[in-house]
Chain A
Amino acid sequence: MTIIFGFFLLTLLLITAVAIVQSQNLFVSVMLSGMFSLLLAVNFFLLDAADVALTEAAVGAGISTVLLLSALAITAKHEKAPSSSREGALIIVIIATLVLIYATFDNPQFADPNAPVHQHVAPWYLDKTAEAIDIPNVVTAVLGSFRGYDTLGEVFVVFTAGIGVLFLLGTQPGPFAQSNPYKLTDPKGLRHYLIPRVVGRMLIPFILLFGLYVQFHGEYGPGGGFQAGALIAAAIILFALLEGEDSALKVIPRSVLIGLIAGGALLYGVVGLFGIFLGSNFLDYSVLSSNPVKGQQMGLLIIEAGVGITVTGVLLSIFHAFAARGKF
């Protein structure tokens, strides 16, 4: 039964993808890519991957749409006509697709317990988590502790992306913004729309609270730093949309944002270095406390906090960088 639902959703995904590519109006493409992220998140959920589904829903369908719309406000509305014919590219893509489909004939059956991917490290992780880390969510244990070095790399990738955008777009409004009174978020915001403003202001504390819940609940259920960072950034972006970007900059000034971006990655690295100072390997959390299991849990908590802080800072900086430059 789940397979039938999965098939149906994948067909809808295919139709959405074709529609995104076919449409000439860029705004339609942005809306449809939001829908694409949603359908993909439901698909991940049907495959029982809850952490990935939560990240895809929070980042792909929420924040991505807002950032793409901000980018669209600065650029043109319609796609330019292609300057050369694209038959060569189409043929290459079709050949690559046929090769990939042929390669999937060798895959094991869906949900086969004897598949090679379930034979080597997976049972080891499942056993070791119960005895060394003792938290119910194995995904967070693998992400944060067994493969903590990879996650350190991911935090630094997010950090680099934030710095890259700030280099390109700058932290101050560009030369066009002064001559144009209409920015993406008008300094007064949606102030004359009373109903969305009242309801939105009521919701912001709950979204922030839910973001904190997802952050600290990552060891027991779906959650963790990336999802929580996206949710908290979404709450502040909602505030910026309703009250105006200047009020949002007063609430969290740019200096604090830069501190957040660097601070999260620094926190993660410092926890790793503590492992060395206390006599063990880099990113070994068992030495953080006298009981190794408690040390692992404490280490996971602190690094997830670091990840959440960096992701919040980066997403908010990118939003402010785009919104300050609105040139219609």
Chain B
Amino acid sequence: MELILNIASWILMTLGGVFIFVGGLGALRMPDLYTRMHAAGITDSIAPILIIPGIMLQAGLTLASVKLLAILVFLLLTGPTASNALASAALLAGNRSEQVKPTAVSESEE
């Protein structure tokens, strides 16, 4: 039982680590602000969902697990909100993306 918990915990945490690395690499190499935000969003949402249950399996049913659950809930609430606020602020400041052409213009008549 111990062994299964340890193996499951290790798999979850390593998978979370892989996603974090992929997200970080994406934030560095993506060409545009909005695509970078998309990559950084991976590290905010899927990575805590994998890592924190991995740690909770190690902690068992103690107060530490409740605190870890609280950390997970706060990260999942505030991460996407911060991304939304950042994207709105960037868009309202006029930061246009070169990757996506606006489709509401008259270029669609061909």
Within the complex, the shortest CB–CB distance from A155 to chain B, in Å, comes to 29
Query: In this assembly, does B97 line the interface, its C-beta being within 8 Å of a C-beta of chain A?
Result: no
A26-34, A128-136, A195-203, A311-319: which lies at the interface = A195-203
Contact between B77 and A202, CB atoms less than 8 A apart: yes
Query: In this assembly, does B6 line the interface, its C-beta being within 8 Å of a C-beta of chain A?
Result: no
* Closest B residue, CB atoms, query A190: B85
Q: Which residues of A contact B95 (CB under 8 A)?
A: none
Total count of chain A residues near the partner, CB < 8 A: 9
Over the window 76-91 of chain B, the binary record of Cβ atoms lying under 8 Å from chain A Cβ atoms (1 yes, 0 no) is: 0110011011001000
Over the window 128-147 of chain A, the binary record of Cβ atoms lying under 8 Å from chain B Cβ atoms (1 yes, 0 no) is: 00000000000000000000
> A196 to B80, alpha carbons, bound, how many Å?
10
Q: Which residues of B contact A193 (CB under 8 A)?
A: 85, 88
A182-218 CB contacts (< 8 Å) to partner B: 190, 193, 195-196, 199-200, 202-203, 206
Q: Which residues of A contact B88 (CB under 8 A)?
A: 193
Within the complex, the shortest CB–CB distance from A73 to chain B, in Å, comes to 15
Q: List 19 A-B contacts (CB under 8 A).
A: A190-B85, A193-B85, A193-B88, A195-B81, A195-B84, A195-B85, A196-B81, A196-B82, A196-B84, A196-B85, A199-B77, A199-B78, A199-B81, A200-B81, A202-B77, A203-B74, A203-B77, A203-B78, A206-B74
Question: Contacts A196-B84, A203-B74 given; 17 further ones with Cβ under 8 A?
Answer: A190-B85, A193-B85, A193-B88, A195-B81, A195-B84, A195-B85, A196-B81, A196-B82, A196-B85, A199-B77, A199-B78, A199-B81, A200-B81, A202-B77, A203-B77, A203-B78, A206-B74
> A195 to B85, alpha carbons, bound, how many Å?
8
Q: Which residues of B contact A200 (CB under 8 A)?
A: 81
Q: Which residues of B contact A203 (CB under 8 A)?
A: 74, 77-78
Over the window 53-95 of chain A, the binary record of Cβ atoms lying under 8 Å from chain B Cβ atoms (1 yes, 0 no) is: 0000000000000000000000000000000000000000000
Q: Is the interface of A mostly helix, strand, loop or mixed?
A: helix
> A206 to B88, alpha carbons, bound, how many Å?
26
Residues of A within 8 A of B (CB): 190, 193, 195-196, 199-200, 202-203, 206
**Contacts across chains A and B counted by CB atoms under 8 Å:** 19
> A195 to B77, alpha carbons, bound, how many Å?
11
Within the complex, the shortest CB–CB distance from B26 to chain A, in Å, comes to 19
Within the complex, the shortest CB–CB distance from A60 to chain B, in Å, comes to 19
* Closest A residue, CB atoms, query B84: A195
Q: Which residues of B contact A196 (CB under 8 A)?
A: 81-82, 84-85
Within the complex, the shortest CB–CB distance from A203 to chain B, in Å, comes to 7
Within the complex, the shortest CB–CB distance from B42 to chain A, in Å, comes to 19
Within the complex, the shortest CB–CB distance from B70 to chain A, in Å, comes to 9
Q: Which residues of A contact B81 (CB under 8 A)?
A: 195-196, 199-200
Within the complex, the shortest CB–CB distance from B81 to chain A, in Å, comes to 4
> A206 to B73, alpha carbons, bound, how many Å?
12
Over the window 45-88 of chain B, the binary record of Cβ atoms lying under 8 Å from chain A Cβ atoms (1 yes, 0 no) is: 00000000000000000000000000000100110011011001
In order of increasing CB-CB distance, the 7 nearest A-B pairs are A199-B81, A196-B85, A195-B84, A196-B81, A195-B81, A199-B77, A193-B88
> A206 to B84, alpha carbons, bound, how many Å?
21
> A199 to B83, alpha carbons, bound, how many Å?
13
Q: Which residues of B contact A195 (CB under 8 A)?
A: 81, 84-85
Q: Which residues of B contact A206 (CB under 8 A)?
A: 74
Q: Which residues of B contact A202 (CB under 8 A)?
A: 77
* Closest B residue, CB atoms, query A198: B81
Q: Which residues of B contact A199 (CB under 8 A)?
A: 77-78, 81
> A203 to B81, alpha carbons, bound, how many Å?
12
> A190 to B88, alpha carbons, bound, how many Å?
12
> A190 to B86, alpha carbons, bound, how many Å?
13
